[in-house]
Chains A and B, each alone.
Chain A
């Protein structure tokens, strides 16, 4: 639960994401998705309840818990003075990682996300789609077990969106647990094995994707039905 004064942003959300799962967390604007993510990663403190990341309590064992999480936030938040390669190397440093292995991993991620030719540019000099890929690479630099994606395809063109889907599916197939929020319902339907829908800070549905879709004519119909005021 998360309260801001008298306003309850998240009200008794209780869910369990299995290791290796691709989990969708959907809801209209202001439903509490980002607040929930902030509570998971430690940017917001819960007013009540607890969050465990692979068994670690994220408040009492925050150091262990945070090591296991990679976050690609909705808004770009890179240090504007750093090159793309340095963004990754500095981010690794925040997790206590440094040296040749980190440089090699940064180069591997830049290569994997098609950013090698821009490695020495500052992030302000690259396109929105490239920034989105950099955000993903940064979230993966410390080899997390849980990848949290807050609107990862917002504002990217169709081609890049499909490319990102492919990367995310590949990462999930390699064993990475993925927690995704998105406003693109077809994206959730394509990628997620299980979906939770939140409305006004409460979970109104949580089912395997096929079962959820089967509740109506399409995921969009189900979503609109469940989240309509």
Chain B
């Protein structure tokens, strides 16, 4: 509900950015690239762009909501209410998941309209979006708690998430990389999210889905464990 009140800040920018990526990289430059993983480059790009925006919006929603709540003190309203750490974390994550699903849905429609890219495996599509959104929402909450100023929230985005996302397979298939870089990709956690999700579109992935999705489940469980513990002890929330 809150996201819809600031729709020009949180919903339209990722959609417009995606349209630009599709036109510039997918249709203009991509027309010079041969088939990738069995589909045109523009079609290959769509699942990567969905992951890019799901990661960005999930992290942004939770980190800024929590930090703003701390900064403006509106978090107190939640802290004095009869809600457990599970309920608090669940509330933030469900809100973030709804926003991510909406953005993913809109980009999926754009993919169908602009480059005729349609998911083949809807189960993987929904499972991976949900897992990735929960993972980055939990990370957003962790950094929303750790941050002492807005700058701190941006540090993870600028120096970690965005670079790892860009080199994690949004624009390239791991198979296009030289062997040493392919090995290096396995140390990039975001690579697993994109690789797992791309399978829902192309039916192909670098790793077996059980391995890539398993890794995303593991990372999600660790992040959720950390944020639930921090919320339960009231870290930086209760004195």
On A, residues with C-beta under 8 Å from B are: 4, 38, 41-45, 62-64, 66-67, 69, 71, 73, 75, 77-81, 91, 94-96, 138
Chain A residues contacting B76 (CB-CB under 8 Å) are 43, 73, 77
CB of A95 within 8 A of CB of B73, answer no
* B77: interface (CB < 8 Å): yes
Partner of A43, one of B6, B72, B239: B239
CB of B73 within 8 A of CB of A66, answer no
Chain A residues contacting B6 (CB-CB under 8 Å) are 81
CB of A95 within 8 A of CB of B238, answer no
CB of A45 within 8 A of CB of B238, answer yes
On B, residues with C-beta under 8 Å from A are: 2, 5-6, 72-74, 76-84, 234, 238-239
Partner of A94, one of B72, B73, B81, B239: B81
Chain B residues contacting A75 (CB-CB under 8 Å) are 73
Known: A43-B238, A45-B239. A66 touches B81 (CB 8 A): yes
- The winner among A63, A73, A79, A138 for most chain B CB atoms within 10 A is A79
* Chain B binding surface, main DSSP class: loop
CB of A62 within 8 A of CB of B82, answer yes
CB of A75, distance to nearest CB on chain B (Å):
6
- Enumerate 22 A-B pairs (CB-CB under 8 Å) in ascending A order: A42-B79, A43-B76, A43-B80, A63-B82, A69-B80, A71-B80, A73-B73, A73-B76, A77-B72, A77-B73, A77-B77, A78-B74, A78-B77, A79-B74, A80-B74, A81-B2, A94-B78, A94-B81, A94-B83, A95-B82, A96-B82, A138-B77
CB of B213, distance to nearest CB on chain A (Å):
34
CB of A81 within 8 A of CB of B239, answer no
Chain A residues contacting B238 (CB-CB under 8 Å) are 42-45
CB of A94 within 8 A of CB of B5, answer no
Bound form: Cα–Cα A77–B81 in Å: 14
- The winner among B2, B76, B84, B234 for most chain A CB atoms within 10 A is B76
Bound form: Cα–Cα A63–B88 in Å: 13
Chain B residues contacting A96 (CB-CB under 8 Å) are 82
The number of A-B residue pairs with CB atoms under 8 Å apart is 55
CB of B192, distance to nearest CB on chain A (Å):
35
Name the residue of chain B whose CB is nearest to the CB of A148: B80
CB of A121, distance to nearest CB on chain B (Å):
13
17 further A-B pairs in the complex, CB-CB below 8 A; given A42-B80, A66-B82, A94-B83? A4-B239, A41-B80, A42-B79, A43-B79, A43-B80, A45-B239, A66-B80, A66-B81, A69-B80, A77-B74, A77-B77, A78-B74, A79-B2, A79-B74, A91-B77, A96-B82, A138-B77
CB of B239 within 8 A of CB of A38, answer yes
CB of A193, distance to nearest CB on chain B (Å):
25
Chain A residues contacting B73 (CB-CB under 8 Å) are 73, 75, 77
Chain B residues contacting A64 (CB-CB under 8 Å) are 82
CB of A125, distance to nearest CB on chain B (Å):
14
Bound form: Cα–Cα A96–B87 in Å: 11
Name the residue of chain A whose CB is nearest to the CB of B84: A63
- The winner among A42, A67, A71, A94 for most chain B CB atoms within 10 A is A94
- The winner among A41, A42, A138 for most chain B CB atoms within 10 A is A42
